[in-house]
């Protein structure tokens, strides 16, 4: 017998319940941010401890991001049956188990063991991403979905720079520079944090927003996109392609920041500890970009912002590869800034109006994180041959794919609704149109004193008349 989860939509939640659910789930973003921040520094640390090459050290990235490629569909199926909350418990359990087994791996100095534990951590975090990203996206108005997700993802950014900051003080200084002792204690603390979160979610109520409720909301608004087969949800399919390419580029860039800053060919001549600190500053820049974009996305359409940022990332990635000294470092910081909104905006655009396919679509987009498994080895191979700076040409292809996806969504939206710069709440406007249409003859919508043919007026005019009507009836 299939287990049915009784659910609601965000519109049915009180303001206090909504705020509690939003803050509770946002706490999860810290977990994978911290793990990801530590991962990139471990890459360099293990090169020195185990005497392995840059290419061999990318097995950590392959394990971590490879888990994202294979596990999310199973996580999605689990949550479709049992709900978001049990999915969160499952993810936190894997996360803590993988982290606690870093201890015996450090005791026996087994690089393969670290790789295996990293895979388990990745399975846990990919489960949390499927749950948290999709939950935040559907927890409120579609108009502000990208802004909400950017805000929550900002806490992932905070954790991402906390990881390198801790590593710079513990992994690369004194006796710790040549041992795995501090790695043991740091990951034991990570496991304890995951356990505490798991207990917290067990005792705290979390409203369950189900796909059936979302589907009914879309039907009530006259949006029938979710009735198509999943494989025909093109904005989701191409969103997965863009996310795969973007995350691969992001991971490739981050994985070799310490190597880039310490490479003699770059010309900056930083030591490992200083380079690790600078990497944490790069993550701070990334986080600042996330929170700045929260404000901007309330006024500018997310697809337009993605297009602009994709183009900027492509440019600064190329300049990072070609410029030397401080000029290259400045371009690296700018690259981190313009990366900031990419993941949450691609996720939001890819899962928009999926209704009953929301969790399946979320799983697919999260699978795109698996792109992080493939770019670092390719970049490492070029770095071993031509130097780390020149290897930064590899990620540029991922940013170009992100740019093209943004352009495609802008064109598609312009074709359907007319070109606009400001954010457009399709769900809200369609609800009003359907409500008005039900009171008048088919094909005609009344707005105060005048009337409009639904098939002839442009969406921009629809919105204008919509606002006029709502103001005249005191609904605005």
CB within 8 Å of 221: residues ≥ 6 apart: 427, 430, 431, 434
Q: Which of 371, 399, 417 is the last residue of a domain?
A: 417
CB within 8 Å of 192: residues ≥ 6 apart: 96
Q: What is the DSSP string of 145-160?
A: HHHHHHHHHHHHHHHH
Two structure tokens written together for 340: 């900031």
User: Phi, psi (5° rounding) for residue 8?
Assistant: -135, 175
Same domain, 344 and 454: no
Same domain, 326 and 227: yes
For tokens 């292809």, the residue is: 397
Same domain, 132 and 57: yes
Residue 27 located in a structural domain: yes
Give me the residues of the chain with pLDDT under 50, please.
1-6, 8, 221-222, 225-226, 427, 431-432, 434-436, 439-441, 444-459, 462, 465-467, 469-476
Measured CA to CA, the distance from residue 146 to residue 44 in angstroms comes to 34
Same domain, 301 and 386: yes
Same domain, 463 and 328: no
Residue 88 located in a structural domain: yes
**pLDDT the model gives residue 319:** 96
CB 72 within 8 A of CB 130: yes
Residue 332 located in a structural domain: yes
Residue 5 located in a structural domain: no
Measured CA to CA, the distance from residue 218 to residue 147 in angstroms comes to 21
Comparing C-alpha atoms, which of 382, 268, 269, 390 is closest to residue 322?
390
Q: How many domains does the chain have?
A: 2
Residue 1 located in a structural domain: no
Q: What is the CATH number of the domain that holds 35?
A: 1.20.1250.20
Measured CA to CA, the distance from residue 38 to residue 358 in angstroms comes to 31
Show the CA angle centred on residue 229, arms to residues 145 and 231, nearest 5°.
80
Domain range for 441 is: 426-472
**CA separation, residue 451 to residues 151, 303, 389, 417, 475 (Å):** 40, 32, 62, 19, 18
Same domain, 269 and 363: yes
Alpha carbon 81 to its chain's center? 24
Give pTM, 2 decimals: 0.72
Measured CA to CA, the distance from residue 103 to residue 288 in angstroms comes to 34
Q: What is the DSSP string of 162-185?
A: HHHHHHHHHTSSGGGGG-SHHHHH
Cα Dmax for the chain = 81
**pLDDT the model gives residue 457:** 46
Same domain, 23 and 71: yes
């Amino acid at each position: 017998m299939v287990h049915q989860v009784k659910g609601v939509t965000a519109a049915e939640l009180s303001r206090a319940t909504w705020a509690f659910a939003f803050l509770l789930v946002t706490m999860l973003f810290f977990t994978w941010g911290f793990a990801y921040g530590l991962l990139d520094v471990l890459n360099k640390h293990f090169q020195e401890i185990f005497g392995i090459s840059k290419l061999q050290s990318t097995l950590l990235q392959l394990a971590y991001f490879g888990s994202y490629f294979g596990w999310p569909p199973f996580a999605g199926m689990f949550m479709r049956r049992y709900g978001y909350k049990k999915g969160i418990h499952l993810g936190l359990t894997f996360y803590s188990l993988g982290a606690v087994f870093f201890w015996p791996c450090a005791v026996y100095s087994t690089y393969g063991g670290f790789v295996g534990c990293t895979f388990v951590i990745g399975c846990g975090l990919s489960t949390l991403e499927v749950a948290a990203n999709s939950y935040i996206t559907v927890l409120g108005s579609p108009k502000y979905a990208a802004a909400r997700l950017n805000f929550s993802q900002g806490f992932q950014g905070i954790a991402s720079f906390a990881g390198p900051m801790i590593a710079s003080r513990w992994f690369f200084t004194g006796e710790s520079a040549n041992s795995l002792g501090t790695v043991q204690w740091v990951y034991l603390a990570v496991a304890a944090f995951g356990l505490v979160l798991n207990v917290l979610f067990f005792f705290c109520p979390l409203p369950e927003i189900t796909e059936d409720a979302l589907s009914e909301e879309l039907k009530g608004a006259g949006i029938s996109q979710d009735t198509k087969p999943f494989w025909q949800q093109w904005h989701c399919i191409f969103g997965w392609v863009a996310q795969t390419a973007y995350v691969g580029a992001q991971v490739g860039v981050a994985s070799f920041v310490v190597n880039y800053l310490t490479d003699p060919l770059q010309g900056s001549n930083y030591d490992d500890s200083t380079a690790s600190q600078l990497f944490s500053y790069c993550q701070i820049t990334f986080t600042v970009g996330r929170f700045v974009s929260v404000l901007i996305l309330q006024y500018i359409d997310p697809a337009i912002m993605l297009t602009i940022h994709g183009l900027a990332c492509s440019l600064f990635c190329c300049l990072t590869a070609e410029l030397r000294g401080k000029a290259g470092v400045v371009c690296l910081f700018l690259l981190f800034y313009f990366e900031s909104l990419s993941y949450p905006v691609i996720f939001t655009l890819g899962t928009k109006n999926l209704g009953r396919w929301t969790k399946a679509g979320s799983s697919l987009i999260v699978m795109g994180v698996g792109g992080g498994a493939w770019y670092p080895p390719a970049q490492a191979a070029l770095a071993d041959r031509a130097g780390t700076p020149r290897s930064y040409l590899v990620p540029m292809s991922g940013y170009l794919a992100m740019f093209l996806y943004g352009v495609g969504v802008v064109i598609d939206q312009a074709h359907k609704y007319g070109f606009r710069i400001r954010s457009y709440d399709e769900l809200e406007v369609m609800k009003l149109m359907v409500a008005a249409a039900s009171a008048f003859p088919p094909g005609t919508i009344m707005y105060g004193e005048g009337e409009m043919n639904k098939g002839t007026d442009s969406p921009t005019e629809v919105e204008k008349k919509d606002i006029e009507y709502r103001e005249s009836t005191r609904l605005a």
